[in-house]
Structure formats: C-alpha cells, structure tokens
Amino acid sequence: MNKLLCFLVLSLLFSCKETKENEYSSAVLWPPYNDSSDVAASQGNEQKRMHFKLIQSRVSDKNEIFRPLYHEVVKMSESEYEQLKPLILEQDIPTLQSYVGEGRLTYEKLVRFFLYRIYHFELDSSTSLHTILALNENVVQEARELDKLKPELRHPIFGMPILLKDNIGTAGMNTTAGSIALKDNQTKDAFIVEQLKKKGALILGKVNLSEWAYYMCNGCPLGYSAIGGQTLNPYGRGIFETGGSSSGSGTAMAANYAVGAVGTETSGSILSPSSQNSVVGLKPTIGLLSRTGIVPISSTLDTPGPMTKNVVDNAILLSAMTGRDAADEKSVSTTEDFIGAVNDSGSLKGKRLGVFKDLLETDSIYLKTAAKLTSLGAEIVEFTAPEVSMDGFLTLLNVDLILRRNSRLMVLAEQDRILTVLMLVQITQQQVIHQFQ
C-alpha cells in the first residue's frame, strides 16, 4: 500500500512538472506591439541616421528565443534577484570569483541573475533594447556542472557568462550577421569561442548588431538588423545612438546583461558602441585574436575584441581569447600578461595622453576626466583631430572581399551550400525592399 501511494505521489509530481513545462513552451512572452509611435517619435531626432523605419524585427519571433529557458528563469524570485544585486551589479571578475570562492555566489546563480535581468527588460516593450538574438539553452546546466568541480587554479574567465556579437560562429546557435540571408545559418565555434570554452567561460547567447557589420548599408540607423530589429541605447532609448556595428555588445554591457561581451571591428565597430554606451572596448592589434569563424569584411582590418564594464575585465576577456590559429594567416601567439599589466600599481607620472580639444570645451565629463588624469600625474596633450578623407575606403573593402572570396565565403554547414558575395548582396537588397515598403 505504501509503495502504491509513493508511486502515485511521484507520478503526480512528474505530471505537474510536465504540465508546467508544456505551459512554458507555449507561453506568449512577447506579444508584438504597434511600434508606429516610436518610429514617428524618432523622426524628430536631430541625427538623421536615427530616423527609424521600424523597431521590431519582422522576421524573428522573440518567443522562440525566450521560451526555452523560461522554466529556469521563473525559478528565481524577485527577492532573490534583489539580494544578488549588490554581489553582481558593477562588480569586476576578480570580485565575482572571490564571492564564488567564499560560497556567497555560485556560477548557476550568476547565470540565473543575468537571465532574470534580460527577461525582465527585454520582454517589456517599454524597456526592451532589442539586444538579444539568441540564448544558449544549455547555459544553466553548464553552470551547474562548473559548480560541481573542485576548486583549482583556473583562468579568471572560468564560469563567467559572456555574450557574443552575432557574426561570431557559435555551435548550437545560429550565426546570422543580422541578415535574412543567414537566418538559419549553423556553424562550428569560431576559434576565439573555442578558446573561451576551453577556459570555462559560459556562452550566454548572441547579441544584435548593425546588419553585416554595417558593410552593406550607407546612412542606415546604427544597430539595425533584419533579424533583431533596432537596437536601442539604455541611456536613452531612441534618444542616443547605440554606436555600431557591435551595437548589441555595447548595449548589453551598459545594461548589465552579462559579465563581458565580444564585438568585432573593421573600422570603429568596437570603439564607437563602447563610447556611446560608456563601456570599455578594445580593438586589438590585427592577429592578436583569430578571425576564423567570424563573418568577414576585410583581411587586413577585421578583428574581434573584448567589451566590458571595466579595464580589468577587458584584460581578462582579451587574455581568454588569445592563441595562435593556424587557419588565420595573421594570427600570432603571445606571452603578454595582460591581466598582470592592468593590475600593476604603476604610476601615470610621465605618461603623455592626448585629449580632444573640442571635447574639453563641450563635454563636462570629458573635462573632469582629463583633470583627474592630470592630478594623477599624467601629462595631458590637447590636440584637434585633422579631417581625414575616407574616399575609396569602401572600394578597398569591396576589392578585398571579392579577391579573397574563395577563402572567406560564408559556408552554411548544415545545408552544405555556399553563398557567394553576389548572392548575399541580392538577398540583402530584396529584404530591404520587402521590409521598408
């Protein structure tokens, strides 16, 4: 009798769990809304490039992105989230690792915290930044597995949730470059993603970008892609530009959606969104980080790079991605201790730092920062940046991509087919006509 009763109780529990998960799998987390008023409001922006044509993607359903992990997110209560805030928000990686070591935090709680935050803001049309394009459905379980491991000397990136720009190949998630042409594109991990995973980083998901890394559009809003819609700046949605093309990487960091993010740059695509979103971005010397597995533009200018909330985390994320890649002709090995360099208690005395004269005159925060650097011993050198003609720059990129087409075309591994540059251009042109009719 007791055995029968236990069996019935267990059956009921499993049945309830299955019913709950079925409810979550069909839940409407993001009801599409009429964004015409937001589009209309953008027409009054002084910056013409911020005159939006649409906000939401017309080809992606956010429910498909957010449903798979919803059953994990609902396990965290608002009170638990609030309790974790002072332990996680604005804390650097060494501090987070110390809390894990002390038992005050786990990698699973860290992941859940960021997921809760992402769901809270991204599924509300009044706060959504349209930043998240994909989430790693296994990330909570991966964090649990890391928590089971015995403490040992590891790279500080271990257990840290990282977001990737969606032109960086990632197994298990589509790599779209924001384009309909690559909507279902499945790839292997890019070399830098392999490096991150080897060191125990947790790939949380993929973020929006200026479509094709802003390569195929002139004058379009920064941060817009067909797949993700219009990325918005958390410091002023529709008021301030996001910068680009690593728009989602910058906005995700500003909104505290992860410990770190990875962007890519050909010319300004890390530095611009880092500046616009008040985060730390680094474009490394070409070759320091591999480009294998990243949607290409230029063989001489492309590179991924770290985007973080602070300099220490930037050095840690950079360090975790280094390593010589035989498949990238520019790739080099390095023995540089980037983490040690930023932790060095050296002095700014004798260091000459250039500052833009016009910003000293127009930006009070910039002026205060320069004054602080001066007080710390740095020598400030004011200068006016010369006007530099960029005539022919796009032609240079076009020729580079076409001449190297055989080695740098995007392979759709699952479908076993190759898209030529011409095909990509044609598909992109057709999608623009369709979306903006």
Give catalytic residue positions. 165, 245, 269
- Dist CA 262 CA 195 (whole Å): 13
- Do the beta carbons of residue 380 and residue 355 sit within 8 Å? yes
Q: Is 260 helix (H, G, I), strand (E, B) or coil?
A: strand
Residues 6+ positions from 99 with CB-CB distance below 8 Å? 87, 91, 105
Q: Measured between alpha carbons, how far apart are the two ends of the chain, in Å? A: 69
Peptide bond into 245 cis (omega under 30): yes
Report helix, strand or coil for 277.
coil
Q: Give rounded-to-5 percent helix, strand, coil for the chain.
A: 40, 10, 45
Q: Does residue 217 sit in helix, strand or coil?
A: coil
Both tokens of 437, joined, read 């009719």
Rounded to 5 degrees, what angle do the CA atoms 92, 126, 42 make?
105
Q: Please provide the size of the chain in residues.
A: 437
> Is 238 strand, coil or helix?
coil
In sequence order, which residues have a C-beta less than 8 Å from that of residue 201 and are 6 or more positions away?
Answer: 157, 158, 159, 160, 162, 320
What are the beta bridge partners of residue 297? none
